[in-house]
Amino acid sequence: MPSSSNALFIIGNLAALIAIALLGCLAADTVAALLGYHAALFCSAVGYAVAGAHNIGVVLTTLGILMWALSRFRSETGLGLAIGGVLLAVMPQVLPHYLGVSCILS
């Protein structure tokens, strides 16, 4: 049976990629604000990150549940994929709150 660390490693890398992209947009907005410009790069990038992470999260969660069910509910990898997919789908939606940025997500 494969180890669950490979699946969790992939989910962690996807989450880190999304977080680094959003933090880069926040840094660009901060520099623009210091120079006197009104920037909304972070808030516009959050919309795309939410859509992308949600789609990837749904696929990972579905695959995880299928793997877990087909292994007769014994696969740690499937359960890890399902939980990781849910967390990946939620992460971009809560990140602005913890960074102190108010973006209206619709």
pLDDT at residue 89 in the model: 92
In a domain, 20, yes or no: yes
Identify the pLDDT of residue 2. 52
pTM value?
Answer: 0.79
* CA–CA dist 73, 49 (Å, integer): 32
Count the domains in the chain: 1
pLDDT at 4: 57
pLDDT of residue 9: 86
The pLDDT, as a whole number, for residue 1 is 47
User: Would you say residue 76 lies in a domain?
Assistant: yes
Q: Is residue 104 part of a domain?
A: no
66 assigned to some structural domain: yes
Report, as ranges of residue numbers, the positions in the chain whose pLDDT lies below 70.
1-4, 104-106
pLDDT at position 76, please? 87
Whether 106 is in a domain gets the answer no
- Tell me the C-alpha to C-alpha distance, in Å, between residue 96 and each of 14, 47, 77, 88, 99: 18, 11, 30, 15, 5
For residue 88, being part of any structural domain is answered with yes
Q: What is the pLDDT of residue 60?
A: 92
- Domain hosting residue 86, numbered range: 5-99
Per-residue confidence (pLDDT) for residue 36, from 0 to 100: 92
Q: Is residue 30 part of a domain?
A: yes
